Structure 1
């Protein structure tokens, strides 16, 4: 079950990443992801982009459950790449302030703060509750939906941003 959930979440992020980011992956050489593994190419791609990382022992551990904080870190890395590709667009800053549930020294703080500050999570996000609980398909779906909504809200022009010229005097035919 957890293996399926992990790969489902991983492949969902990989699919979006591969569609948005430029190509250029190189072999990563993970001991536990042989070249003929069905996800090997996708794993290599996200590792090459810096969205996911392996472990110091040379493994990827794709068969292990992923916690909500691990998903948050991966999502934050991915959203930074997305924002980089949208750097020419004006981004709005969310008007909501949500507390980050960990101290600044925590390994996930920087990435959680990024997701909060950029509007990619809401105050009811599963990423901000039960941090070490393994993710399931519902969690992955909810998190990806919130991130996509946040992205759309951040980069969509609002009526307040439009500059409409003032109307001149009415036209009269005499």
Structure 2
């Protein structure tokens, strides 16, 4: 990675808060957090947008949108991080996420699978999307607000994942997720859209 990230020892203010949050939650500072700490105001804006969409759709649907987008983009960072977050939140277990890495979404409900598909379409072929894509979400009972927030959740993942890829942010060896699952997700990311 060519950019220089703020060192933990010298961190203060918003950067120190970002690092402390990672350490409190996961025991270490993620490389993606360090990269985003170069512009902590932008990071705060991103977090605020996430907090604005989650209340209407809930964490399960948010994670489905996030994982669907990350898989389509081919983002190892976001697949690994959100697989871990999904397990912590009770969205999916390790076996379900291994299946997800193999393009089997059966660990998710039918509505969540529709969200995964929608997020993948937004991430890989947004110009081809039509009202039929949103109508598929409506068939699963999502409201107008929820459809907009699902779209925003997938769009936010595109912003974050593509930024990490463009900056060549190194992938952490995450001790909080099983090595076999992390490897399966990384291999899926390497295959890209599909």
State the TM-score, normalized to the length of structure 1.
0.27
If you compute each CA radius of gyration, which structure gives the higher value, 1 or 2? Answer: 1
| Structure ranking higher in helix proportion | 2
Greater RCO, 1 or 2 (C-alpha within 8 Å, sep 6+): 2
State the TM-score, normalized to the length of structure 2.
0.25
